[in-house]
Amino acid sequence: MRPSAGPAASDPASPILILVRKPSRPTSGNPPAQHSAFNKVANHVAKLRTMKIVAELLTALDETMRTVKGHLAEMDTEQLNALVGLLAPRPSIGSAEMVLTILALREIEARNPVKS
């Protein structure tokens, strides 16, 4: 059924015209070059933002680990051994408790080098 030539047909917002108009850009297949270039730039900017966030998080993690190492170095051997005794013997992989356990054990090893 064709739209009538009445006043509704000449109105660009008419639902009838919207149904019979061709889409302004393809709905499938490759997008036009300008959209593709825009998407590439947008993706690149998003990657840069993500990389910046990751770099900030790694910097904060490094500062925190250095602070913890400093506190562990200030502890006497008795306190350090007590701390290791309080930590779980098998902490979850990647957890803060695992990192603290490793740092504490490394500090103990540094103080008591193994003689071969």
Give residue-wise pLDDT tens across range 7-29: 554 555 544 444 444 556 555 55
What is the per-residue pLDDT across 27-81, written as a single tens digit (0 to 9) for each?
555 556 667 888 888 898 999 999 999 999 999 999 999 999 999 999 999 999 9
Question: Which residues lie below 8 Å from residue 52, measured CB to CB, with a gap of 6+?
Answer: none
Backbone angles phi, psi at 3, to 5 degrees: -70, 150
Burial of 104 (0-12, 13-18, 19+ CB in 10 A): buried
Contact 82, 47 (CB under 8 A): no
Q: What is the pTM of this model?
A: 0.57
